[in-house]
Amino acid sequence: MARYLVRRLLQAVAVLWAAYTISFIVLYLLPSDPVSIMANGGQGEQNSVDPAQLAKLRAEYGFDKPLIVQYVDQLGRALRGDFGRSVQNGQPVTTTIRQALPQTLQLAGFALVLAIVVGGGLAFLATYTRRRWLGEALLALPPVGVSLPSFWVGLMLVELLSFHWRLLPALGNAGFSSLVLPAVTMALPTAAVIAQLLAKSLKRTLAEPYVETARAKGLRPITVHLRHAMRNAVLPTLTVSGMVVGHIFAGSVVVETVFSRNGVGRITATAVDFQDIPVVQGVVVLGALVFVAINLAVDLLYPLLDPRITAIPTTVR
Amino acid sequence: MSEPLLEPLRIHLDVEPAPEIDVVRRRGRTFRFLLHRPGLLVAIVIVVLVLLAAFAPGIFTSQNPIVGVPAHKLQPPSRAHIFGTDELGRDLFARVVHGAALSLKATIIAVSVAFVVGGLIGLLAGFVGRWVEDVLMRFVDVLLSIPGLLLSLAVVTALGYGTIKVAIAVGVASVASFARVTRAEVLRVRQAVYVEAARSIGARWYAVLFRHVLPNAIGPALVLATLEFGTAILAVSSLSFLGYGAQPPAPEWGSLISDGRNYLANSWWLSTLPGVVIAAAVLATNRISRALDGEWVKQR
């Protein structure tokens, strides 16, 4: 088990390193000149800047060195937790992200809980009900959920609930009531994905012989459904949890822009506006970190949830 | 002497009308298939309408999408302006119709980038195998570990703004899934007897690859491409909503919604109606791809 753990950890670190490298390649090799943008205060391309000043800035940020040297330098610093400084205000990237992170975590956490409750509930109801039309109607919802542009859903919620009925605040970071609309917006596509996967997996599980046995024993349908079928049906959906959480995290870029909330997503959107490469890179690596960490956690939890899988770590050795 | 000659002739006559019946029967089957799925029929109609709007916007509207009548600004939907007008008095319906071309172009570019690049990676990985496969598939794993929207944003940061750049960014984010699907299929096809046969009669590797493996392995990637259309429409409109797509006067579906955002409290139609059009287009393409993926194959 310990060896398995170490191997999985090393794998996770390798993926993170590769994600860092890919983001470096994308951001630094593609045609864009961060220095001239910086000198213009982020206002697009102009040519009224003193070349000497440009050269000075280049030297300051190390852009005058060969790319490979820049890469090694930056990677070395990133390993020590230093992702460079924001081009917009000179603040360290890690500080910028750390300050914004709690807001986004709050929002994303709430959205994730909502998505699991709504998506799981929908899958449960759709497979549990005896009325065929109800089951079919419920299962028709998730495809709609994944087809709606989330920024549009957010705007519609603001329009109806804030402007029309004046129930909830439209914008800002003030308290729980301002969290509801963005969280619902963020949760919707994820809930739809969860509902689709879980309903499919539940249907397959319900057709298995052991469920029939449980029914034949005379257990109450709800017990069979929740205690016997649901437990096994949830397992396959766990494998996509890294993707789901990563998706919610990335969705904060859109949702925080729609609701004018401060957070990592908002920082990312402005960083793209200013071509603030260090900040964008920091967020990309953070996104990969979220994905990798969740996947690692699921992999390690899996044997606990499904005793059949405990065999793998010992045989792999 | 004439007896044996007549036999094959009669068989020949028997066979002759058969293909015609087959065509008729097949046509009837397609018709029945669609009739049992009114949703799919509606989806096809919507996609055709979007295509028409993209290639011949004049069919739907004669109004100018760029220049408005300031006196008619912010009018709610009416007979003259079925989607209402915006803050400059431009007809919103005309803007949505003309925006279809930009949005469709971006979507097609995005899907093609993902299909071609991802497909080539998958094909190479599956066909060559060994360390090439290992390297390529690890690379794909890493691409998958970066949430799609963030990867797109990184590409936009590097490339800059514009419809085509946004489209490329969206395509890059989907390369990984195409690579996986193609590789899995190539691995399956590579085991097939006809590939072994082609190899054993001494066909060159590129002949085996392009004449035998590729045509048989491309199916799942094509289905994924139709599914990707819906995803790409959403991703492109998200990025253009954030302001990275077409620049102001040009109408693009996502930026129409963000333009309307400032007038949300008073002029609901500005954001609502373009969003309905996007949602309808995505729903329609998703419905069609679902039909291609499972139902049609199951029916036959």
Q: Residue B63: its pLDDT value, please?
A: 75
The answer to whether the beta carbons of residues B260 and B277 sit under 8 Å apart is no
Q: How far apart are CA A139 and CA A119, in angstroms?
A: 11
| Residue A257 at interface with chain B, using a CB cutoff of 8 Å | yes
In terms of Cβ atoms closer than 10 Å to its own Cβ (0-12, 13-18, 19+), residue B45 is exposed
Looking at CA atoms only, how far is residue B147 from chain A in angstroms? 5
Is residue A34 classed as helix, strand or coil in its secondary structure?
Answer: helix
Determine the pLDDT at residue A214.
87
Instruction: For chain A, state the CA radius of gyration.
Output: 24
What is the ipTM, given to two decimal places? 0.84
Confidence of residue B20 (pLDDT cuts 50, 70, 90): low
> What pLDDT score was predicted for residue B3?
45
Does residue B74 contact residue B267 with C-beta atoms inside 8 Å? yes
A19 lies within 8 A of chain B by CB = yes
* A27 contacts B157? CB cut-off 8 A: yes
Cα distance between residue B178 and residue B224, in whole Å: 7
Are the beta carbons of B93 and B83 closer than 8 angstroms? yes
Q: HSE (CB half, 13 Å, CA atoms) of A44?
A: 2
Residues B274, B257, A43, A88: is their CA dihedral positive or negative? Answer: negative
- Is pLDDT above 70 for A315? no
Other residues' Cβ atoms within 10 Å of the Cβ of residue A79: 10
Position B112 scores a pLDDT of 93
CA nearest A152: which of B91, B246, B244, B241?
Answer: B241
The CA distance from B23 to B29, in Å, is 10
* Cβ(B157)–Cβ(A272) below 8 Å: yes
Length of chain B: 300
Of A156, A247, A272, the CB nearest to B147: A247
- Sorting pLDDT into bands at 50, 70 and 90, what band is A40? low
CA distances in angstroms from A33 to A94, B25, B150, listed in the order given: 23, 62, 20
pLDDT band at A113 (very low <50, low <70, confident <90, very high): very high
The CA distance from B107 to the nearest CA of chain A, in Å, is: 15
The amino acid sitting at B292 is L
Residue A130 CA, chain-centre distance (Å), reads 36
A147-A257-A149 Cα angle (round to 5): 10
- In DSSP terms, A85 is beta-bridged to A92
Q: Is residue B275 less than 8 Å (CB to CB) from chain A?
A: yes
Q: A17 vs A32, which has greater pLDDT?
A: A17
Q: Could B271 and A155 be called an inter-chain contact, meaning their C-beta atoms sit closer than 8 Å?
A: yes
Q: Which residue has the higher pLDDT, A139 or A170?
A: A139
Alpha-carbon gap, residue B164 to B106, rounded angstroms: 6
Chain A neighbors of B139, CB-CB under 8 A: 18, 22
pLDDT of residue A118: 93
CA separation for the pair B112, B108 (Å, rounded): 6
Half-sphere exposure of B279 (CA within 13 A, CB side): 19
Read off the tokens for B34: 């669609």
Q: Tell me the DSSP string of chain B.
A: -HHHHHHHHHHHHHHTTHHHHHHHHHHHHHHHHHHT-HHHHHHHHHHHHHHHHHH-GGGT--S-SSS--GGGTTPPS-SSSTT-B-TT--BHHHHHHHHHHHHHHHHHHHHHHHHHHHHHHHHHHHHH-HHHHHHHHHHHHHHHHS-HHHHHHHHHHHH-SSHHHHHHHHHHHHHHHHHHHHHHHHHHHHTSHHHHHHHHTT--HHHIIIIIIHHHHSHHHHHHHHHHHHHHHHHHHHHHHTT-SS-TTS--HHHHHHHHGGGTTT-THHHHHHHHHHHHHHHHHHHHHHIIIIIHHHH-
Task: Reply yes or no on whether the pLDDT at A41 is more than 70.
Answer: no
Rounded CA separation A145/A187 (Å):
10
Confidence of residue B10 (pLDDT cuts 50, 70, 90): very low
pLDDT at B12: 46
Contact A154, A187 (CB under 8 A): no
Please provide the average confidence, as pLDDT, over all residues in chain A: 81
Report which of residues A55 and A221 the model is more confident about.
A221
Quote the CA–CA distance of A236 and B137 in Å, as a whole number.
22
Range scoring the smallest mean pLDDT among A24-33, A276-285, B152-161: A24-33
Chain A: give the shortest CA distance to residue B160, in Å.
8
- In this structure, which amino acid lies at residue B141? D
Q: CA of B295: how far to CAs of B30, B33, B213, in Å?
A: 12, 9, 25
Find residues 181-240 of chain B whose CB sits inside 8 Å of chain A: 230, 234, 237-238
How far from B228 is each of A103, A285, B108, B117, B173, CA to CA, in Å?
Answer: 32, 25, 10, 14, 11
Predicted local confidence at residue B13, as pLDDT: 44
- Tell me the average pLDDT across B245-249: 77
Kindly report which listed range (A98-107, B13-22, B148-157, B288-297) carries the lowest average pLDDT score. Answer: B13-22
pLDDT of residue A233: 86
Q: Which chain A residues contact residue B156 at CB under 8 A?
A: 272
Chain A residue at shortest CA distance from B39: A140
pLDDT of B115 above 90: yes
In this prediction, residues A37-44 reach a mean pLDDT of 52
**Residues of chain B neighbouring A292 (CB-CB closer than 8 A):** 145
At A201, list the tokens.
């997996």
- Give the Cα separation of A42 and A34 in Å (integer): 9
* Per-residue 3-state assignment (H helix, E strand, C coil) for A127-187: HHCCCHHHHHHHHHHHHHHHHCCHHHHHHHHHHHHHHHCCCCCCCCCCCCHHHHHHHHHHH
Determine, for residues A159 and B234 on separate chains, whether the beta-carbon distance falls below 8 Å. no
Confidence (pLDDT) at B145 = 87
User: Residue B5: what pLDDT?
Assistant: 44
Q: Which residue in B has a C-alpha nearest to residue A44's C-alpha? A: B160
Burial (0-12, 13-18, 19+ Cβ within 10 Å), A161: middle
What is the distance between the alpha carbons of residues B158 and A305, in angstroms, rounded to a whole number?
43
d(CA A286, CA A289): 5
pLDDT tens-digit map of A49-70: 666 777 776 676 666 677 777 7
Q: Give the integer Cα–Cα distance in Å for B83 and B91.
A: 7
Q: How far apart are alpha carbons B254 and B246 in whole angstroms?
A: 9
pLDDT level of residue A37 (50, 70, 90 thresholds): low
Nearest-CA distance A219 → chain B (Å): 35
Helix residue ranges, H only, A217-276:
221-223, 231-238, 241-258, 264-273
**pLDDT at residue B101, rounded to an integer:** 84
User: In Å, how far are A211, A222, A232 from A217, measured between CA atoms?
Assistant: 10, 14, 19
> Confidence class of residue B111 from pLDDT cuts 50, 70 and 90?
very high
A284 vs B: CB within 8 A: yes
Q: Are B68 and B61 in contact (CB under 8 A)?
A: no
